[in-house]
Amino acid sequence: MRTDDLETDLTRKTENSPRELLTRSFFFLCAALSVVTTVSIVALLITEAAKFFSFTAPLMGVTGETASLVDFLTGTTWQIHNQEFGVLALVSATLMITIGSAIIALPLGVATAIYLSEYASTQARSVLKPALEILAGVPTVVYGFFALIYITPALGVVLPGIGTFNILSASIVVGIMIIPMVASISEDAMSAVPDDLRQAGYGMGATKFDVSTGIVVPAALSGIFSSFILALSRAIGETMAVTVAAGAQAKFLNPLDPSSYLEGALPMTAAMVQLLTGDITGGGLAYRSLFAIGLVLFVITLIMNIISDYVAQKYREVY
């Protein structure tokens, strides 16, 4: 019997063994459970949100109060008891927190990743990277109280007109929260860059800084950009920290106006918490708006992840 035939026969016998079949079935069930859970969540959001909008509510058997899709997507006022459901008031606060946290986390995260990958010794990296990742294990509600008790009073010394609940404080604390994600993923991407590229740069007379910023960072750009999208997705979906720090009054703010960051507002996630913990009637219009907000949040996060995958595939370097 030839060697190839022998290897094929042994592989077939191994694959058909009871232990191998049991292992394969177990992993298949794990994968299937993940898919079913995801599909179930999406189906729940779509079906419950459909009951909220006037053009789909009759199809879902809803005969009570409904809301207009156009008013929901274009309105700038969010008031539950006055039956005004303009989601832009919530989206603007979420967008402002995302922008503010990005300004803090992205440069600090990349700079930290460059240090860990290119400058830190093996011993220093073994201590600093786990210490940095501990930040990801702190409960988010603790971050919210940290912002309320420490960050906001500190900002009040510099900015006397700032409110107790404000977007700036929430942005800072969310930025601190997502630094470990940016730093860790970016450092992994930079560490995957072959040393041959670094040595080629040194051979051309480049300095450590030139190699780090001119060779390593561009070579790891797809991984770095992916870390940005994942971190910003985390910032968009953050709940407890912004619920405590940002405020509970929905208002439409201009993200391009710096003074708007000194005011309090209601992000989408905090609005969902407010609806769940309030005295709304289960099955009513306010209750169904909860799923409409969740669907908008899901679509935004999905779009960001699609962009991340596209950029990662387009600019991925194969070594």
Distance separating alpha carbons of residues 140 and 273, to the nearest angstrom = 14
pLDDT, tens digit, 9 for 90 and up, residues 290-309: 889 999 999 998 888 888 77
| pLDDT for residue 293 | 92
19 vs 236, higher pLDDT: 236
Distance separating alpha carbons of residues 142 and 144, to the nearest angstrom = 5
Residue 193 binned pLDDT confidence (cut-offs 50, 70, 90): confident
Residue 108 binned pLDDT confidence (cut-offs 50, 70, 90): very high
Contact criterion met (CB below 8 Å) for 293 and 87: yes
Average pLDDT, the chain: 85
Torsion, Cα of 158, 160, 166, 170 (10° steps): 20
- Residue 256 gets which letter from DSSP? T
- Which pTM was predicted? 0.85
**How many residues does this entry show for the chain?**
319
Distance separating alpha carbons of residues 101 and 112, to the nearest angstrom = 16
pLDDT, tens digit, 9 for 90 and up, residues 259-290: 889 988 999 998 888 888 776 666 678 888 88
Tokens of 69: 């899709």
Residue 158, CA atoms < 13 Å, CB-side half-sphere: 7
Tokens of 85: 């459901």
Average pLDDT estimate for 140-147: 89
Task: With CA atoms as reference, report the closest residue to 176 among 216, 219, 234.
Answer: 234
Tokens of 89: 């008031």
Average pLDDT estimate for 92-117: 92
| pLDDT for residue 171 | 94
Distance separating alpha carbons of residues 68 and 156, to the nearest angstrom = 41
Contact criterion met (CB below 8 Å) for 195 and 274: no
